[in-house]
A and B are shown apart, each in its own frame.
Chain A
Amino acid sequence: QSVLTQPPSVSAAPGQKVSISCSGSSSNIGNNYVSWYQQLPGTAPKLLIYDDNKRPSGIPDRFSGSKSGTSATLGITGLQTGDEADYYCGTWDSSLSALLFGGGTKLTVL
């Protein structure tokens, strides 16, 4: 069981918007930056969002990140079939002194 809690799965139709949540505590999300990763089937994770809401070069603005208190959210608009993947949140935990990842959320674009 992960310290960072994500919904196991979410789904939406092409063109729609979806949000993926990541819930933690004051020792992790509440006081450290959150990153989000996309893992397409059979491939390595890819950085989508860092420092809560920043996008690396080359990541489209359809992807966005936000944080409030001890929860973070990844938003994806204009869903495409190519967005079907597992999405992971990650952040440092100051109490555990360890980098944590959420359990992952499988996105299905219906």
Chain B
Amino acid sequence: QVQLQESGPGLVKPSETLSLTCTVSGGSISNYYWSWIRQPPGKALEWIGYIYYSGTTKYNPSLKSRVTITVDTSKNQFTLNLRSVTAADTAVYYCAKGSYTEDYWGQGTLATVSS
């Protein structure tokens, strides 16, 4: 059974970079797509982007200028970097397995943007 766990700072200052890592256990990161999805408090899910284990990425056009997703197959991890954050980026961030269908999800981590 694949398990995913998000990690990273819970508090980020405005204009700085939000960095989160997702560690995959119970299976290899190879041969699959991996996604980041976020959910502002009380709001709907929003797709951020995905990465293939080989490094190919696709991002939400609305966030593309600020997002980078990378993968480290040796550590079975993938990472989200979101630059120039504002209060509007405050959300629970989920990592998940899949590209257009996410079949396994992490528990989520709340990232708050505040000075």
Contacts and interface: CB of A to CB of B under 8 A. Distances in A.
A44 B100 contact: no
| B interface, size bucket | 20 to 34
Interface in A69-110: 88, 90-92, 96-104
**Chain B binding surface SS class:** loop
Given A46-B105, A47-B103, A97 B45 contact: no
Nearest to A92: B100
Contact of A101 (B44, B103, B108): B44
A90 B96 CA distance: 14
Interface residues of A, number: 26
B94 interface: yes
A45 B105 contact: yes
Contacts of B108: 44
Given A92-B100, A101-B46, 14 more contacts: A35-B102, A44-B106, A45-B105, A56-B103, A88-B44, A88-B45, A90-B45, A90-B100, A97-B58, A98-B47, A99-B50, A101-B45, A103-B44, A104-B44
